[in-house]
Each structure stands twice: as C-alpha cells, then as structure tokens.
Amino acid sequence: MTEYNFNGQNCRGDKIKAKNLNFYYGSFQALRDINLDIPGCAITAIIGPSGCGKSSFLRLLNRMNDLIYGSRIEGTIELDGKNIFDRDVDVVELRKNVGMVFQKPNPFPISIFDNIAFGPKQHGKKSKIELEEIVESSLKKAALWDEVKDKLGQSALALSGGQQQRLCIARVLSVEPEVILMDEPCSALDPMATLKIEDLMRTLAKNYTIIIVTHNMQQAARVSDTTAFFMMEPDRAGSLVEYGSTSEIFTNPKDKRTEDYITGRFG
C-alpha cells in the first residue's frame, strides 16, 4: 500500500471537493448527489435542520463512517485532488491529516499532558523533549496554555466543559493536521465558552482549513467564510440546497428553502 502524501499546500484553492457524492447506510440513502468545493484556510459552515445529513457528511471527510457496518458511498471526495476513498489511501494517515473535534468534549481519562502527547506518541514521536514542545505549542495554539501550564499532570476530566473542548482542539492540533472538522463543537458549552472557541476558530483559520457543522445559525453567520445549507428530502435523504459565501447566503439567498430556514420559518 503506497502512502499517500498530502501536499501541504493548505491555503491555496479548494482543499476538499465532494463530487457526485451519495452515501448509504445499508439500503437507506443518507446523502444524495452532494457537490461541494471547500476552500483552504477558511471556515466553512454546514447548516440545516436535524437529520439532514450534515454530521454524516462531515464524518465522511475523515472516513469515520467506515466504522459503521454497512455504510457505503458512491462518488468521490477529493483532498488535495486525491480521492480519499481510493484503495491506496492509508486511512490512519488521513485521520492524522484531517482532525475532528466532537460535539461532546471527550478527553481521555488521563492527565492533560498525556492527552495531548497521545497522538504524537502513536505516530512515533518518543523523545520527552519533543513531546513537551508539542504539548506546549498545541496548548498555546488552542488558547489553553496559560490556564493549565501549572497543572499538566492533573486529570483532564477535572477541567470545565469549555476547557475540555479547547483541550480536545489542542489534542487534534498536536498531530499537525491540515483540516479540522468540528461537529457542533459548542452545543454542549455555555455562551462564554462558545465565544472563546469561536475566537479560536478564526485564529486557527489562518493556517488550517476548518469545516464546522452547526445548528446555530448565528454562529455560522458570525464565524464562517462560506456556508453550505443542507436539507432532508421527502425520502429522508440529505441534499445540498445552496452553497456560497456566508454573506451571500445570509443576506441574499437564491433558494427559497434557504431563505425559509434562515428566517426561521422551519428547522
């Protein structure tokens, strides 16, 4: 199996392209004909009512849906021009390169330091000095360093919800991804913690491609550069209704369904 090297050109052009993507759980079609180009070094928001397949789509981007028995896709998803579902793609490397932050913060039941050092260790980094550097820089990038630098040996579970989520972001950063997927990262957090994470996202977007699924439209409007609106069709398959720059979508939507959703007529 040849190793696929991601080209490290994070900020040029479109980082991820979904082409004629259809996704099935067994015989149930969850996504229909998705065509979507996601720009590099920007924040793309995916919005839409519950059940429209936003999270399913997100999880295809790092092939977490491979874990679900009976799932299959048609079409392609290209990362830097290479289809991530090709046979010669190393899924483990893909997931290092496309990181994910989950809805509910899920730090491991170990110390803060060990949480961040975990990823690099599995990828072969062993020297104590290297790991300490990585932990410090990741925590700094995640705007958490000052709050925890004196208690790196403490259990990560002792942190507040917002801190735990920033820890999870630091953990993702420690393996040096190019893309960060965020699945409703603030839905379990209070407003103050949410704002901190939104600030963090904007800082990170200078160097990383960020894709965020959110059911909070105001958040999408605040934070993202481009927005994709998904909706569930009558047969319960999700499809892409409209996609464009965030300002366009929110001030001048072209599709009536988009307009209805944004103005709160349903969802």
Partner 1 sequence: MRNVSAKQTQKLAMAGIWGGGVITLLLLIVIIGYVLIQGLPGINWEFLSTNPKGGLSGEGGILSTVVSTLYLIGITLVLLVPIGIGSAVYLSEYAPNNRLTRIIRYGIETLAGIPSIIFGLFGYALFVTVLSFNFSILSGALTLVCLLLPTMITTTEEALKAVSYSYREAALALGTTKWQMISRIVLPSAIPGIVTAVILCIGRAIGETACLYVTMGGSAAMPSSLLEGGRTLSLHVFYLAMETNAMDKAMATAAVLIIIIILINALTNLLAGRFQKRLKGIS
Partner 2 sequence: MTRYFTDKLAKYIVFISGFTAVVILLLIALFILREGLPAFSEIGVFDFIFGNVWRPGIDQYGILSMIVGSIAVTVVSMIMAVPLGIACAILLAEVAPSKVRSILRPAVELLVGIPSVVYGLVGLVLLVPIVSNIGGSGFSILTASIVLMVMVLPTIISISEDSIRAIPASYREGALALGATKWQTIKGVILPAAKSGIGAGVVLGMGRAIGETMAMIMVIGNSIAFPNSLLDAARTLTGNIALEINYATGTHESALFATGVVLFVFILLLNSAATVFLKRGSNAQRLG
* Binding flag, residue 19, partner 1 (CB under 8 A): no
SS3 per-residue string spanning 101-137 = ECCCCCCCCCEHHHHHHHHHHHCCCCCHHHHHHHHHH
Query: Token digits for 79?
Result: 């990362």
Please, which of residues 88-117 interact with partner 2 by CB under 8 A? 92
* Binding flag, residue 67, partner 2 (CB under 8 A): no
User: What is the rounded (10 degree) CA torsion for 119, 64, 243, 217?
Assistant: -70
Cα–Cα distance for residue pair 154/150, rounded to 1 Å:
9
* Binding flag, residue 7, partner 2 (CB under 8 A): no
Bridge partners (DSSP) of residue 71 are: 25
* Binding flag, residue 153, partner 2 (CB under 8 A): no
Give the pairing of strands 226-232 and 238-245.
Answer: antiparallel
Q: Which is nearer to partner 1, 13 or 26 (CB)?
A: 26
Bridge partners (DSSP) of residue 16 are: 38, 79
Binding mask 95-134 for partner 1 (x = CB under 8 A): xxx-xx-x-x-xxxxx-------xx--xx-----------
Q: What's the closest the beta carbon of residue 92 comes to partner 2, in angstroms?
A: 8
Q: What's the closest the beta carbon of residue 66 comes to partner 2, in angstroms?
A: 15
Residue 124 site contact among partner 1, partner 2, none (CB < 5 to 8 Å, cut-off depends on kind) = partner 2
* Binding flag, residue 124, partner 2 (CB under 8 A): yes
Please, which of residues 174-193 interact with partner 1 by CB under 8 A? 175
* Binding flag, residue 87, partner 2 (CB under 8 A): no
Burial, 167: exposed, middle or buried (Cβ in 10 Å; 0-12, 13-18, 19+)? buried
Residue 175 site contact among partner 2, partner 1, none (CB < 5 to 8 Å, cut-off depends on kind) = partner 1
- Going by C-beta distance under 8 Å and a sequence separation of 6 or more, which residues neighbour residue 265? none
Q: Which residues bind partner 1 (CB under 8 A)?
A: 62, 64, 67, 69, 92-97, 99-100, 102, 104, 106-110, 118-119, 122-123, 155, 157, 168, 171-172, 175
